[in-house]
Structure 1
């Protein structure tokens, strides 16, 4: 929803009362973001034995440090999923399937003219026009939505495709940003930082290279890794929106476990002092009678990202 300017009203004059914007309820269930691990009796004994045999006083808290480290890792796991959700919001596409949640593809209202697939992919270096592609989307956002992008985020692979196009080389050469001809350009791309500065001058935008990945564990315990920003997706945004909740935010809800965990049930002490937003970390005993003794460690959050200014980001699909 775009903001509407306030009225100017003289003293003693009534101000107009307008209808609030319509709220569309797209889903009725807020997803839980949860990561857990089990520490079996053998591991508990091993850590305790290491602690008992340590000769250095600084390692006296090795057991407590081990548990804290495991909980910190679980918190990171939860934040990684939160980051993936937020990346999906920025790219206007998020999906997840597993453990009772099958989201399909969730979109966040980015206008269709800010989601552009160029007619020529950037891998076609002779005829691709990445500079014109970026400037076209940037101009649309500025003229139609009043949004000015000053940052572009892409993978290193897409950055290399961009700077190797004939169009980009000619643009950089025409601006006299380097002292060699366009056909000598390939000898300079080894210095990535220098070429990045050249590209920022050509585009008039800050370039952010993002190749970060997240891991996912399958039911057979195998691991696979994917990118937060897929190769072939180029994101335009404005740095002033970073941390600006009027553009987008994460609706961080009360974690249900902290509500239940705030109660004393059957004489068991409360885990939490009251309802809390996530992510939170805690430990539970799967076997209250300690037969066998083990512990479950958890980290949980409950929420979903929201995009309040649908034009805050634009997406180019370049390959």
Structure 2
């Protein structure tokens, strides 16, 4: 298995024309660049997103304050695996199982996380399952909720802007995604990669976060400029990716891959935190997952099926069915046996 490729790069794209009323020509240029990135890499660096620096700084401050708490205190905010909210301690998840792949170091992803997301109370008048749209758990940390909610709102705006660009890039009608995201099952996961004090005995290689694809439509990622995130190239190489100055990383999820018949890529990625003098260099990230309505039925777009591209996903699936199978793998340790093409890519990458 190759570990780095000189041909791999993540394009930087300025989306200002979609944020600040650009001309039709300017928007068309952005849409073309997005289409190319989605077909060739599945990851991109987004500039011109418009999130104020103070809001991003507030998110980092909130994460630092929470993750600095002692482990037992943090565990009081832990929820059952089926509730994708609250705290996840180190070594309680295995992202590779979400793709149906067993790991020698099962449930050994060495990160901790705190999740918030869309709740039933956010969509009054809509009947939604309580477990999927659970109310958020807010830790008793001064300013945490306010700072996290401020960034969450901005990340949501960026994700929705990306779907507007996607519609243009794919030649879809204006507002196409609105019918699938009216009560979108969005989640933001704040991650902390750091080993606690003392010697750690691992039962396998150190894995910050195992290889996986994201679940939904699009992911908006803020991260430290610290090495760790690695993206799988089309040649089987794992490549380090860090955000450029003032950039957010954007990648596609499985729902988009299904919709586009894999012509747009839900790219495998993992986190392998750098070890310096025997300890992990701390890395923080916050991933906003824009996943779509839980009852939205995802069917391959007809104009992306032809003789050269036979339908890889002939059986439609709802967003809810897809995400529950993925979460059962990552958080409950149950292998996702519905994974197909994604599982094959993991096994090929492992050589």
Q: Report if TM-score (shorter chain) is over 0.5.
A: no
Question: Which bracket does the TM-score occupy, shorter chain normalised?
Answer: under 0.3
Higher relative contact order (CA 8 A, sep 6+): 1
Task: Give the TM-score taking structure 1 as reference length.
Answer: 0.27
